[in-house]
Every structure is written in C-alpha cells, then in structure tokens.
Amino acid sequence: MDLNKIRKMTDQERTAELEKMQQELFNLRFQHVTGQLENPVRMREVKRDIARVKTIIREKELEGPQA
C-alpha cells in the first residue's frame, strides 16, 4: 500500500483499513498453520502494511495538539 494513499485517507478509513488488514493477517496465519497458504510472502506484505497504517495513525495523533 502506498504511503500517500494512506495519508489521504480519513481517520475512519485508516481504522477500517487497519481492521481489514488485521483480519487478513489472521486468516493468512490460519492458512499457514493448516498448510493451505499458497503465497507465504503475502504475510510479510500485510504485516508491513499494518505497520505503515499504524505509523501514519500515530503521526496524526502527535500532530493534533500542535495544529
């Protein structure tokens, strides 16, 4: 996911996207354990996307009092 795309989202959209990605990671982990995961690299991609969204959310929280 592109950082600029995440930055342009509203707070609600970011939160919804984060929840969606966390659910996807849960499903990927479940598939990995049961041996059904076809693309294990996807787990890494989703984890990194989650970190990106969380980072942007935190940046916005820290900007709030100064603005």
Note the pLDDT of residue 37. Answer: 94
Note the pLDDT of residue 54. Answer: 98
Q: How many domains does the chain have?
A: 1
CATH number for the domain that contains residue 32: 1.10.287.310
pLDDT digits (tens, 9 = 90+) for 10-41: 999 999 999 999 999 999 999 999 999 999 99
Span 1-17, average pLDDT = 94
Note the pLDDT of residue 26. Answer: 98
CA distances from 40 to 6, 23, 34 (A): 24, 16, 13
Note the pLDDT of residue 67. Answer: 53
- Residue ranges of alpha helices (H) inside 1-67 are 3-8, 11-34, 41-63
**Domain range for residue 29?**
3-63
Whether the pTM exceeds 0.85: the reply is yes
